[in-house]
């Protein structure tokens, strides 16, 4: 199942939700201001991030800038507490499932969230039995 961490007024969040709905892909939306994140969840998000805090935290956020917060010198517990108390520092949307993790809306990267069955249908394969009817239309760029 795909989970999306969103916030109100986030244009990228709306794009991701629209993309998923257009493809009839089910997802769970968690508005970070309405649903209190718990410690386990925040630790999980941090563990899925390839670059730690750089991927999911906006270091340009007002809270971090005004208070001169040094995230790099925080312990994991301090960081988790800080995120829970200040969810606005999270970049949005954060999109994840069992296999994929993405922050922000990227037209090419979001394709990885297509179910495998759907991705197979979208591929152009000249050996496919349906190539004569639909495959060539998909391969006009070839």
Residue 124: active-site member: no
Catalytic residue, chosen from 10, 13, 124, 128, is 10
Lookup: tokens for 70: 């040094």
β-bridge partners, 3: 28, 96
> Angle 96-100-102 (CA atoms, 0-180°, nearest 5)?
60
- Number of Cβ within 10 Å of residue 122's Cβ equals 9
- 39-48 and 76-85 are packed helices; what angle lies between their axes, rounded to 10 degrees? 110
Contact of 94 with 46, CB cutoff 8 Å: no
Give me the active site residues, please: 10
């Amino acid at each position: 199942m795909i989970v999306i961490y969103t916030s109100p007024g986030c244009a990228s969040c709306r794009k991701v939700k629209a993309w998923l709905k257009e493809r009839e892909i089910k997802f769970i939306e968690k508005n970070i201001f309405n649903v209190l994140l718990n410690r386990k969840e925040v630790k999980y998000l941090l563990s899925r991030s390839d670059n730690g805090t750089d991927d999911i935290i906006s270091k340009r956020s007002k809270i971090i800038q005004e208070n001169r917060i040094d995230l790099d010198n925080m312990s994991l517990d301090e960081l988790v507490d800080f995120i829970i108390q200040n969810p606005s520092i999270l970049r949005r949307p954060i999109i994840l499932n069992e296999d994929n993790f993405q922050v922000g809306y990227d037209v090419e990267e979001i394709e990885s969230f297509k179910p495998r069955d759907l991705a197979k249908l979208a591929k152009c394969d000249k050996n496919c039995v349906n190539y004569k009817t639909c495959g060539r239309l998909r391969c006009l760029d070839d």
